[in-house]
Amino acid sequence: MGWCRDVPAHFYVNEFEGFIMILVSSCLLGNKVKYSGGSNDNGLLMRYSRYLTAVCPETAANLPIPRPPAELQHGDGMDVLKGTAKVVNKLGGDVTLHFIQGANKVLDMVKKHRVKVAILKANSPSCGNEMIYDGNFNGNKIAGEGVTAALLRQNGVRVFSEKDLNEDLLQRIIAMYREE
């Protein structure tokens, strides 16, 4: 395994000859970047980590660990990107610009390294691909996607969550994204 020298420290990049990068939320690979200071370890993804590149849009935007939880209000990630919704932390602080900045840093990496697929943390205000929390900090979820997931999808990246995966699908994704 080699580490890309031109990638910031909040990205953990595996370099493999003949592979296009597959991005994965860093917390799913055991990195303690979650708002609480923990991780969301996913055994399946951790077993295949040599084929995956860890990213955390929130730490890429210099949000601290730990940090107050954040949720999207008045819409989803696409609405945030359009300027009609915002991201607010549980203390009432507006962290919208941090989330947009983090999403843009991930997008820069996507463009630089020809990323075509990402496996992101379900329900996250950055990474959720189908459901997000409703913005009231009560545990209720609504249909929608996080800021980074929306920006990546808008730019042609196929976005999955860890809930979409089984070992067969992950193996097919890895095989599919070998350079032709």
Question: Over 80: is that where the pLDDT of 12 sits?
Answer: no
Cβ neighbours for 34, distance < 8 A, ≥ 6 positions apart: 27, 40, 65
pLDDT digits (tens, 9 = 90+) for 57-71: 999 999 999 999 999
Mean pLDDT of the chain: 89
Task: Report the C-alpha gap between 172 and 166 in whole angstroms.
Answer: 10
Q: What is the mean pLDDT of residues 15-24?
A: 67
Whether the per-residue pLDDT at 5 is higher than 70: the answer is no
Residue 134 has pLDDT above 50, yes or no: yes
Q: What percent of the chain has pLDDT over 70?
A: 87
